Every structure is written in structure tokens, then in C-alpha cells.
Amino acid sequence: MTDDLLGRHRAVLPDWLALYYDEPLEITHGEGRHVWDARGNRYLDFFGGILTTMTAHALPEVTKAVTEQAGRIIHSSTLYLNRPMVDLAERIAQLSGIPDARVFFTTSGTEANDTALLFATTYRRSNTVLAMRNSYHGRSFSAVGVTGNRGWSPTALSPLQTLYVHGGVRSRGPFAGLDDYDFVAACVDDLKDLLGHTRPPAALIAEPIQGVGGFTSPPDGLYAAFREVLHERGVLWISDEVQTGWGRTGEHFWGWQAHARSGPPDMLTFAKGIGNGMSIGGVVARAEIMNCLDANSISTFGGTQVTMAAGLANLNYLLEHDLQGNARRVGGLLIERLRAAAAHVPAVREVRGRGLMIGIELTKPGTDEADPAAASAVLEAARAGGLLIGKGGGHDTSALRVAPPLSLNVAEAEEGAAILEDALRSIQ
């Protein structure tokens, strides 16, 4: 950095605004699956701006769409007809799997989840919400109120009454020792017991794979089993697809499809990858739920023309190049490569994930005790080797998060795995 950017950052931005690395990094530009810092160092990017650069850095199709749209009009608000917004909404409604779907665009995943909670509580006339332990849904007042991860929940105050359910973490907690069938059955029994002690909730909000929680997930079918219990009582299911959407898991386009026995959710929320760095979020819901508001509303910046043009170009590229299939193929190779490497590192408790959404949990060897210092050390060592990854986890942030752009090729996956293997070995 040519000036004291870190000092300037600290002087004008909040203390709680986290920065990675002992010497924080200024990223100046990117191309494909690589980025460069202000000193000219080149890195293989396995985190994509927190799973947001979904296809590739500086993807020509997206930059062209943004440039052309910006040359016409950037913004007009939702008070006027907006062709790019309608075009993208039609595509997302069709892809969502939700019947008679309506789409409302926001500027972030936080705002999308906040909006879904507004719809659910209004529709059901209840401010009680079910959420999963170890979950994360955003930083707004209501989203924090349904976040089950202590490290990302800065206040106990909330406009909602939130009740936390078992099941989001397969390998920890009171049911961890059960096989998958019995695990699901125990979690369903816990849910039924909980519902017997409270007024009818508005909704269950759940991430199919918990992002900030360290890429943990339940056995396939858990949320389908939950849905059957909830549907009998009129309780809605909101699938938070901010990190799992758009084919990242490889096997499915949406995370909820791993739990599809009982059909699609009543609502799904999305953000991050659809804009490939542009600020897009949104909610898809059945029309009767979306239309339950009896007052006027708008979105000043949700659905603005330039972001919609970017999202449409990005989605077209993803579908035309079968990036979901690429995530399945290359992600499968990457996770097996990382499991082989981790087998020789006692600090690795588990390598888990799907597609290009992979978590590596670190603990003190021979125990289940989280080791956040080890996670930080691996993060630093990976950077020194030319690889950027993320962190997360519900037990003192001791999980590494690996989530490259979905266009990652086999050679890059091998290169990143080799760097990460060296980084893991360096902590022994």
C-alpha cells in the first residue's frame, strides 16, 4: 500500500469491522479465479469475496452488460417499469421451483432475510420464528435476532421471539452419535416437542448448508421431514439460499432440493453470487404470501437497472456453461484431494461440504475442542503460499471455508489443494 490505508481505515470505520490477516490485504483487481493486491502479489481466490464472485472475476459478459446498461440508465427505482428487473425476475421465478412465484429484489442477503421475515410474520400474524442453532442470516436487527451463532449475534434484543432447533450441525451436539435415520428422527421429535410448548410460529428459517457456521449441514431430507411437521400446523419454511443457491453445491441448483421430498419451500432468499459482485438480493415467495402486505412499499435500490443487467448476464453465463456441473465435477475432485491431505494432519477434525462449498474444521489434536488460533495460522500460511480462503464456524471460528468461483478448473483446484495442504502441515 502506498499510503497508510490501514490507519485511515481504523480512523473512520468501526472497530468491529473485521479484517483478515495480521497485515490486512488490499485487493486491487482480479481476473478469472485470481486477484492481485496493492503490492502486485497474485493469489488464487478460493473465497470469492465471501462466495459472491460466483462465476469469475472480471467476467467479460458481466462487465459488458454493466457498461452498456450504465450508458443508458443506471437507476430509476421501483416506481417505474423496469425491463431488466422483469427479465431477471421471470428467470428466477421459473428456476425457483415455487408455484405462482413472485420475486422482490433487495440489495443484500441481510435485507432479503429481513424482508422474508416481514412477509412470514405478517402472513401468519405471529412474531415467533424457528431458526437453527449455529445459523447466520445477516446483520440487521431482525436478522441478528434469528442468528444462532454467538460470534455473529451482538445483541440479545430482538423484535422477534426466536426458538432454536437441533439439526443444522451433523457431527456435534446431543444427536451426533446417531446414524442419519435416527438423527433425523431425533431432530423431528425435538421439533414436535418444541412446538408443543409455544404459540404457533410464523416460520422456520434455515440455511440448507450453514455458511458462516463453517459449511455444516444435516443429513439430506431433514428439512423435508421438518416441512411435513410444519405444514400440518400452517408454519412456513424459508430456505436461506444466500450461499447455497445457483448451483454451488453441484448436486442441486438450490440447497433445498436436497430436502425435496415435501416440495419446495414457501419462500427462498438469495443474494451474493447472482450479481457476481454487484449488490443483488431478493425473496421468492408464493403470490399469496408475497402479496399479504396491506400498505405501500417500494425498493429504492433493489432491482436497479445496472445490477439487474449484471445479474441476468451472470445467470445466463452460469446456465450456458453448466457451472453447476463444473462445481459437482471439480468440487468432487477438490474435496477428495483435501480429505487425503487432511488425513495426515491431526488437527483436522472433519472435511465436509458439497460441490465448491467445502469446510475444514480444526480442533486441538485428539479432542473436539475448537482451535481458532490454528485456523488463523492456516489462513496466514495459505496467503503466504498464494491462496485466499475464509474462516467460520460456531465453535470459536475454527473452520476454514473454501468456496472458489464456480468456473474453477482442475489445474487450479490441484494448485489450491497443494497450497492448502502445505498450510495445514505448517501448523503441526
CATH number of the CATH domain containing 176: 3.40.640.10
54 and 69 share one domain: no
The pLDDT > 90 percentage for the chain reads 95
Domain C-terminal end among 305, 320, 335: 320
Pair 390, 382: CB distance under 8 Å: no
Please name the amino acid found at residue 406. L
Query: Which pLDDT value is given to residue 3?
Result: 81
Average pLDDT, the chain: 96
Would strands 128-132 and 161-165 be described as parallel, antiparallel, or unpaired?
parallel
* pLDDT tens readout for residues 387-406: 999 999 887 779 999 999 99
Q: Are residues 295 and 372 in the same domain?
A: no
In a shared domain, residues 139 and 255: yes
* One domain, residues 360 and 331: yes
220 and 261 both lie in a single domain = yes
103 confidence band (pLDDT: 50, 70, 90)? very high
Count of domains for the chain: 2
Which of 270, 304, 320 is at the close of a domain? 320
**pLDDT tens readout for residues 328-370:** 999 999 999 999 999 999 999 999 999 999 999 999 998 999 9
Segments forming the whole domain that contains residue 331: 5-58+323-425
Q: Are residues 200 and 258 in the same domain?
A: yes
Domain limit, last residue, from 277, 301, 320? 320
Q: Are residues 101 and 206 in the same domain?
A: yes
Task: Give the domain CATH number at 342.
Answer: 3.90.1150.10
pTM, rounded to two decimals: 0.96
Based on the fold, state whether residues 83 and 220 are members of the same structural domain. yes
Please state the three-class secondary structure of the chain as a single string. CCCCHHHHHHHHCCCCCCCCCCCCCCEEEEEECEEEECCCCEEEECCHHHHCCCCCECCHHHHHHHHHHHCCCCCCCCCCCCHHHHHHHHHHHHHHCCCCEEEEEECCHHHHHHHHHHHHHHHHCCCEEEEECCCCCCCCHHHHHCCCCHHHCCCCCCCCEEEEECCCCCCCCCCCCCCHHHHHHHHHHHHHHHHCCCCCCCEEEECCCECCCCCECCCCCHHHHHHHHHHHCCCEEEEECCCCCCCCCCCCCCHHHHHHHHCCCCEEEECHHHHECECCEEEEEEHHHHCCCCCCCCCCCCCCHHHHHHHHHHHHHHHHCCHHHHHHHHHHHHHHHHHHHHCCCCCEEEEEEECCEEEEEEECCCCCCECHHHHHHHHHHHHHCCEECEEECCCCCCEEEECCCCCCCHHHHHHHHHHHHHHHHCCC
Instruction: Note whether 315 and 331 are same-domain residues.
Output: no
- The answer to whether residue 1 scores a pLDDT higher than 50 is no
Same domain flag for 14 and 76: no
